[in-house]
């Protein structure tokens, strides 16, 4: 295997290794499938509902032995699912399978072997949940370095697990990456001692790239930088050792080479000059393994003819190994390759670098990496480039120089103090005679310039206490006295201050909430698989289950949502026309108030504050009555944040900014924004109202609306936030200022589009760019999740209609034609609407979840619908499901787990979690465990350690950070834990 890997091209090497790993995983999965035992027949005694940890579950009445067989088969199925998900590299299935096995192991109902536990923990290291990955990596660090439960030989036998662990170098926490680097350095140092270590089988290209990326990224953290330097040194030594092995193998003449030499010298008798030149070149380049293209082609052409002729004439005897008559005239002396001598170990290499001198100008690490193009690059491929080793030498040399200079400066300082006798007097006199101040300057210059060498962290963590105290007490204060900070303030115009403040808050808060939900870079990736996560939709279906069909679910929230979306269609379509009408100094044929739902400003303010008061009371009082909770969630929230959001926001902005040309709202005691003395009161009212309604709308879209129990669809969270920002910015049309949106309209009123028509073109271009982004996002991502085919079509219809209108307005502004030509250009709008609806409907059907019951969803052929049905069955209350469906649901879930289709991995994993609760009641009576039977191979159930120093642990426990409280409660109920008490059978009313 090793010889084949060394002879194959580099790309094919990694591909073959991947195929080998996949074959091994598939074979393991097949072993798990063959190990599944059959359940004794005739033991089914029915189903009933029990209470486990404040949640009702369907439980099967059966003998304990049958339950133990069921759970043993379930364990083998989960091992098979984990192997399949790793072979297919489906990260979501990998996380679910590994997390299920981990929870089962921690519940003390399952015993795992070292290999399986290593597989589970390394799989968790590559998951997106940072806290779970940090805990898994912390556990691996404890078991490998502290308790020595997982030996290094076990790691090196499983390269797939090793590469999953290397992926943890991309973790955002410096503490976690530091532990990963230390464990990785330890493993590679052990790999150096093994003669059978093959880097091509141990590391894949993604792991090599991850190591190089982390080496560059974490240059400022000493613990990580030091660990990765040790990793690179070990890889470099292993790389040199592999090259030495190849050189030694090439020195021994192969039988094929001897046969060719015999044919050339004995049979064909070609020209001595050509053959001697050929063999001289081959021997002189014996360490390169590859002939030049020109010489290789000529030699292959000549030798192939000679071999073919000689083979046809006779069968040659065993060739001799020396041919002095032919080879001597053209033989050149073959130099000994430099890599033929025994290579140094990583410790010797690092100690040599540690004591190396610092060059005056040390080059930084270059990020340019060579690409592998074929077999000729195989021997020259390097896991660690010479630039990386130079960078390691530079970093360690800088730290060594800083430490030596600091120790030398401290010695001089102590000498000055001993000469003068008075430390305070010495500090005041600035003793330049012994070079102390010069040492201060050099230290500060090195300290500030060498940030990429982790020098600051090195001083804070790795220096001796005496040197550290001397630096912070004497050297650093000297540098602080040399810096003077200057601030310069610019005068702002009072007219634009309110507008800029609200625009800043609108943008900053929106981007902050987007970043809180997901990285901003994901918005441009258009990852459909990330958007259409069926967990939330399955929970919503579970919450909306009704036992009797006569109990119809309320459609009020559903209809209000659709009405608000239909209302946005003409509003978005008319928005760019308002700009054209204002430039043309005409009111158009339709008043903007019709599409913006604007009424009297005082009425809008009163309505907004009344609804805001109800929302504040709801947030203040967390546990209202059932009727009040239903009223708020199903009526007040949709009315406030969907139907009346645009007019209320527009009115509050006009109150806060007080633009020219609008009617003033007169409050008590004749207070209005016309009076400068009382403008502060009006501005405070409008600004506070805008901030309140905007912030609550974003919070509602993120944490409340996705869990609505009467909604059969929901929008993706980041798209919801984007739409709130867009509705705040783009679609509120004031009653008398017919421009693009509330914020820009108020700014445009101050500018005056009638007299400054040239400003309308950049405003229209900005609006067109935003609409294009929203249209592409809505079409590619289909952000409405669940039964949202119509909702997705409405979004695309609105954006495409507005985009076409904006293009027509842009042409009107550029050509400066009459308003009649604009009306003619708008005549194909119905064709645009029909085309947008039909084109998007075909794509929306690919992600549509039918509005069916749980049993009907499990019977669907579509994988996505079946997965949502399994999730709904897991989170649903069995009391709310008809009893006649219980047996059919359990039977379908057993069938899903047993068939083991690779396309239904998600559905299979969620079904397995539900079946665990279905059999746990009878299994507890068996007084046994499943999993590994041997005491030597099984691990104790307490080998899981939480990283208490992880920076995100405290913050992530705050409610509402990533999920709402209801979502966290639902996920908490389905977590596998140690079951001590099971409530009696629950009566289904």
Count of C-beta atoms within a 10 Å radius of residue 676: 8
Tell me which range, 398-402, 584-588, 844-848, is most confidently predicted by mean pLDDT: 398-402
Extract the tokens encoding 299.
């030699």
Instruction: Give the three-state DSSP class for 52.
Output: strand
**Is this structure's pTM higher than 0.85?**
no
Long-range contacts of 935-941 (CB under 8 A, 24+ apart): 937/113, 937/114, 938/111, 938/112, 938/113, 939/111, 939/112, 939/113, 939/114, 939/117, 939/149, 941/105, 941/106, 941/107, 941/108, 941/111
Q: Once rounded to an integer, what is the mean pLDDT over residues 91-106? A: 90
Q: Is 282 left (phi over 0), alpha (psi -120 to 50) or beta?
A: alpha
Q: Is the pLDDT of residue 296 over 70?
A: no
Half-sphere exposure of 555 (CA within 13 A, CB side): 6
Residues of the chain above pLDDT 90, percent: 10
- Residue 834 confidence class, pLDDT cut points 50, 70, 90: very high
Burial class (CB in 10 A: 0-12, 13-18, 19+), 312: exposed
**What would the DSSP string read from start to end of 181-216?**
HHHHHHHHHHHHT-TT--HHHH--HHHHHHHHHHHH
| pLDDT tens figures, 742-757 | 444 444 454 455 556 6
Q: What is the C-alpha separation between 954 and 945, in angstroms, rounded?
A: 16
Q: Once rounded to an integer, what is the mean pLDDT over residues 669-690? A: 64
Give the strand pairing for 47-52 and 930-931.
unpaired
* Torsion angles phi and psi, residue 669, rounded to 5: 60, 35
Q: What is the C-alpha separation between 2 and 201, in angstroms, rounded?
A: 9
Instruction: Give the three-state DSSP class for 311.
Output: helix
Q: Once rounded to an integer, what is the mean pLDDT over residues 750-769? A: 70
How confident is the model at residue 321, as a pLDDT? Answer: 36
Q: Is the pLDDT of residue 290 over 70?
A: no
Tell me which range, 364-373, 528-537, 889-898, is most confidently predicted by mean pLDDT: 889-898
Q: Is the pLDDT of residue 548 over 60?
A: no
Q: From residue 13, how far is each of 8, 20, 251, 379, 380 by CA, in Å?
A: 6, 10, 24, 12, 14
- Residue 469 confidence class, pLDDT cut points 50, 70, 90: confident
How confident is the model at residue 622, as a pLDDT? Answer: 52
Q: Is the pLDDT of residue 396 over 60?
A: yes
Q: What is the DSSP letter of 930?
A: E
Closest CA to 167 of 196, 190, 136: 136
Q: Is the pLDDT of residue 368 over 70?
A: no
Extract the tokens encoding 531.
């958007």
Query: Between 53 and 809, whose confidence is greater?
Result: 809
Q: Once rounded to an integer, what is the mean pLDDT over residues 216-236? A: 87
Q: CB of 143 within 8 A of CB of 128?
A: no
The β-bridge partners of 56 are 51
Closest CA to 289 of 375, 369, 204: 375
How confident is the model at residue 959, as a pLDDT? Answer: 39
Helix (H), strand (E) at residue 58: strand 55-60
The β-bridge partners of 983 are 51
Q: What is the C-alpha separation between 58 and 48, in angstroms, rounded?
A: 6
Count of C-beta atoms within a 10 Å radius of residue 30: 12
Residues with Cβ within 8 Å of residue 210, at least 6 apart in sequence: 166, 167, 169, 170
Q: What is the DSSP letter of 473?
A: I
Q: Is the pLDDT of residue 331 over 50?
A: no
Extract the tokens encoding 735.
């009653």
Extract the tokens encoding 652.
């509050």
Q: From residue 270, how far is each of 133, 294, 326, 570 by CA, in Å?
A: 67, 19, 10, 89
How confident is the model at residue 628, as a pLDDT? Answer: 59
The β-bridge partners of 55 are 52
Q: From residue 924, how far is each of 66, 610, 874, 977, 979 by CA, in Å?
A: 12, 56, 21, 13, 8
How confident is the model at residue 823, as a pLDDT? Answer: 87
| pLDDT tens figures, 944-977 | 888 887 766 654 444 334 444 445 455 656 788 8
Q: Is 342 left (phi over 0), alpha (psi -120 to 50) or beta?
A: beta
* Torsion angles phi and psi, residue 786, rounded to 5: 100, -140
How confident is the model at residue 649, as a pLDDT? Answer: 78
- Residue 583 confidence class, pLDDT cut points 50, 70, 90: confident
Query: Between 256 and 487, whose confidence is greater?
Result: 256
Q: From residue 66, how far is each of 60, 888, 917, 920 by CA, in Å?
A: 11, 20, 15, 11
* Torsion angles phi and psi, residue 872, rounded to 5: -65, -40
Where do the DSSP E strands lie in 826-908? none
Burial class (CB in 10 A: 0-12, 13-18, 19+), 385: middle
Query: Between 707 and 219, whose confidence is greater?
Result: 219
Extract the tokens encoding 597.
């739902």
Extract the tokens encoding 507.
């943008």
Tell me which range, 78-92, 246-260, 504-518, 600-614, is most confidently predicted by mean pLDDT: 78-92
Q: What is the DSSP letter of 254?
A: P
Count of C-beta atoms within a 10 Å radius of residue 691: 16
């Amino acid at each position: 295997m090793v010889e084949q890997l060394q002879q194959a091209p580099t790309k094919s090497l990694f591909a073959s290794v991947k195929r080998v790993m996949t074959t091994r995983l598939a074979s393991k999965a097949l072993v798990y499938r063959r190990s599944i035992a059959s359940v004794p027949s005739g033991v089914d005694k029915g189903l009933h509902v029990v209470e486990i940890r404040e949640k009702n579950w369907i439980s099967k009445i059966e003998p304990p032995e049958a339950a133990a067989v069921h759970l043993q088969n379930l364990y083998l199925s989960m091992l098979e699912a984990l192997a399949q998900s790793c072979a297919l590299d489906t990260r979501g299935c990998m996380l679910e399978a590994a997390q299920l096995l981990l929870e089962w192991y921690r519940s003390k109902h399952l015993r795992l072997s070292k290999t399986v536990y290593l597989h589970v923990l390394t799989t968790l290291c590559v998951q997106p949940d940072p806290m779970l990955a940090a805990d898994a990596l912390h556990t691996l660090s404890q078991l490998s370095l502290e308790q020595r439960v997982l030996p290094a030989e076990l790691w090196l036998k499983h390269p797939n697990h090793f590469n999953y662990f290397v992926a943890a170098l991309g973790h955002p926490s410096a503490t976690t990456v530091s532990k990963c680097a230390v464990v990785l350095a330890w493993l590679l140092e052990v790999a150096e001692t093994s003669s059978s270590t093959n880097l091509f089988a141990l590391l894949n290209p993604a792991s090599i790239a991850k190591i190089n990326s982390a080496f560059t990224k974490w240059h400022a953290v000493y613990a990580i930088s030091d660990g990765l330097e040790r990793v690179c040194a070990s890889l470099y030594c292993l790389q040199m050792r592999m090259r030495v092995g190849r050189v030694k193998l090439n020195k021994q003449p192969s039988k094929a080479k001897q046969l060719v030499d015999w044919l050339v010298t004995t049979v064909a008798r070609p020209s001595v000059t050509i053959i001697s030149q050929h063999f001289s070149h081959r021997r002189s380049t014996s360490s390169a393994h590859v002939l030049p293209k020109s010489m290789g082609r000529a030699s292959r052409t000549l030798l192939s003819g000679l071999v073919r002729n000689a083979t046809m004439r006779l069968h040659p005897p065993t060739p001799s190994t020396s041919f002095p008559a032919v080879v001597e005239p053209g033989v050149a002396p073959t130099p000994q390759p430099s890599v033929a001598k025994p290579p140094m170990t990583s410790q010797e290499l690092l100690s040599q670098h540690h004591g190396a001198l610092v060059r005056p100008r040390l080059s930084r690490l270059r990020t340019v990496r060579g690409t592998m193009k074929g077999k000729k690059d195989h021997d020259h491929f390097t896991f660690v480039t010479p630039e990386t080793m130079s960078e390691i030498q530079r970093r360690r040399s800088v730290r060594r120089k800083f430490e030596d200079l600091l120790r030398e400066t401290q010695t001089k300082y102590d000498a000055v103090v001993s000469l003068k006798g008075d430390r305070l007097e010495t500090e005041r006199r600035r003793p330049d005679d012994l070079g102390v101040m010069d040492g201060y300057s050099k230290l500060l210059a090195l300290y500030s310039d060498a940030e990429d060498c982790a020098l600051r962290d090195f001083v804070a963590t790795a220096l001796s206490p005496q040197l550290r105290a001397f630096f912070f007490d004497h050297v650093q204060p000297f540098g602080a006295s040399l810096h003077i900070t200057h601030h310069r303030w610019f005068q702002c115009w009072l007219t634009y201050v309110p507008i800029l403040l609200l625009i800043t808050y609108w943008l900053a808060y929106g981007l902050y909430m987007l970043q809180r939900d997901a990285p901003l870079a994901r918005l441009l990736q258009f990852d459909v698989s990330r958007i259409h996560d069926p967990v939330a939709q399955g929970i919503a279906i579970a919450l909306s289950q009704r036992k009797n069909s006569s109990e119809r679910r309320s459609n009020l929230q559903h209809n209000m949502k659709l009405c608000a979306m239909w209302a946005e269609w003409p509003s978005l379509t008319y928005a760019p026309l308002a700009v054209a009408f204002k430039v043309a100094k005409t009111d158009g044929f339709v008043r903007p108030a019709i599409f913006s739902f604007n009424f009297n400003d005082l009425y809008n303010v009163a309505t907004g504050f009344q609804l805001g008061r109800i929302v504040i009371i709801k947030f203040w009082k967390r546990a209202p009555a059932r009727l009040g909770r239903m009223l708020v969630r199903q009526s007040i929230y949709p009315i406030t944040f969907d139907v009346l959001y645009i007019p209320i926001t527009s009115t509050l902005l006009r109150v806060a900014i007080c633009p020219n040309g609008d009617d003033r709202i007169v409050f008590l005691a004749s207070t209005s924004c016309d009076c400068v003395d009382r403008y502060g009161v009006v501005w405070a009212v409008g600004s506070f109202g805008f901030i309140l309604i905007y912030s609550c709308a974003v919070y509602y879209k993120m944490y409340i609306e996705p869990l609505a129990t009467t909604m059969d669809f929901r929008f993706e969270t980041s798209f919801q936030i984007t739409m709130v920002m867009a509705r705040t910015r783009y679609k509120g049309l004031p009653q008398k200022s017919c421009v693009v949106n509330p914020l820009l309209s108020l700014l445009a009123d101050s500018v005056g589009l009638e007299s400054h028509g040239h400003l309308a073109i950049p405003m229209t271009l900005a609006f067109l760019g935003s609409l294009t982004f929203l249209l592409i996002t809505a079409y590619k991502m289909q952000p409405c999740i669940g039964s949202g085919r119509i909702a997705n079509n409405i979004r695309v219809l609105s954006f495409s209609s507005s985009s076409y209108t904006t293009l027509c307005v842009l042409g009107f502004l550029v050509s400066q034609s009459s308003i009649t030509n604009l009306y003619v250009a708008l005549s194909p709008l119905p064709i645009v609407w029909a085309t947008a609806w039909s084109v998007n409907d075909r794509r929306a059907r690919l992600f549509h979840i039918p509005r069916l019951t749980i049993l009907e969803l499990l019977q669907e052929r579509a994988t996505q619908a079946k997965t949502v049905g399994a999730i709904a069955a897991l989170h649903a209350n069995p009391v709310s499901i008809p009893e006649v469906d219980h047996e059919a649901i359990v039977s379908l879930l057993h069938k899903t787990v047993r068939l083991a289709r690779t396309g239904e991995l998600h559905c299979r994993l969620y079904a397995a979690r539900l079946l665990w609760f279905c059999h746990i009641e009878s299994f507890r009576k068996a007084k046994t465990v499943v999993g590994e039977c041997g005491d030597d191979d099984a691990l104790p159930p307490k080998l899981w350690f939480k990283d208490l120093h992880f920076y995100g642990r405290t913050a992530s426990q705050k409610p509402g950070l990533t999920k709402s409280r209801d979502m966290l409660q639902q996920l908490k109920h389905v977590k596998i834990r140690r079951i001590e008490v099971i409530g009696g059978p629950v009566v289904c009313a």
